[in-house]
């Protein structure tokens, strides 16, 4: 004879343990999100330290372009940011210093960046390494 699925725990009559476990999980997720936001803020603040608001927008565009390229290469930017934030910072730093912004934008809009990035992207070797890992 099986026990009913809704049988309560005799030692936790009010469900406090289950509630606490739920809160613990939510706090863990909140901390992870805060860490991701803090890393992105550090990147943008570094870019801001070297110039004005136009540079901030340009930096944000470049970081978005990097994420778009990574998705096109079947890499998950947010998962990588959580597991290896130092690699993402290196990728973003190289992207922020890139002189091929116009070509990158053109290739991303045309849907050809995943094929042509090795020709112009300063992150080509790093991205290839991530793809092989």
Please check whether residue 25 lies inside any domain of the structure.
no
Model pLDDT, residue 4: 43
State how many domains the chain has: 1
pLDDT band at 28 (very low <50, low <70, confident <90, very high): confident
The pLDDT assigned to 39 comes to: 66
59 located within any domain: yes
Is 10 domain-assigned? Answer: no
Residue 5, pLDDT score: 46
Residue 52 domain boundaries: 39-132
Look at residue 1 in the predicted model and tell me its pLDDT: 43
User: Tell me, what's the pLDDT at 21?
Assistant: 78
Report if residue 51 sits inside a domain.
yes
The proportion of the chain whose per-residue pLDDT surpasses 90, expressed as a percent, equals 34
Rounded distance between C-alpha atoms, residue 50 and residue 131, angstroms: 32
Longest dimension (CA), the chain: 72
């Amino acid at each position: 004879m099986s026990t009913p699925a809704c049988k309560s725990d005799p030692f936790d009559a009010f469900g406090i343990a289950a509630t606490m476990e739920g809160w613990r999980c939510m706090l863990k997720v909140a901390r992870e999100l805060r860490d991701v936001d803090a890393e992105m803020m550090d990147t943008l603040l570094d870019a801001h330290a070297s110039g004005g608001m136009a540079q901030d927008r340009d930096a944000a565009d470049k970081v978005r372009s990097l994420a778009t390229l990574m998705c096109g290469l079947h890499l998950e930017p947010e998962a990588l940011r959580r597991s290896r934030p130092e690699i993402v910072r290196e990728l973003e730093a190289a992207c922020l210093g890139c002189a091929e912004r116009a070509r990158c934008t053109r290739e991303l809009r045309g849907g050809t960046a995943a094929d042509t990035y090795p020709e112009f992207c300063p992150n080509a070797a790093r991205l290839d390494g991530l793809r092989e890992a």
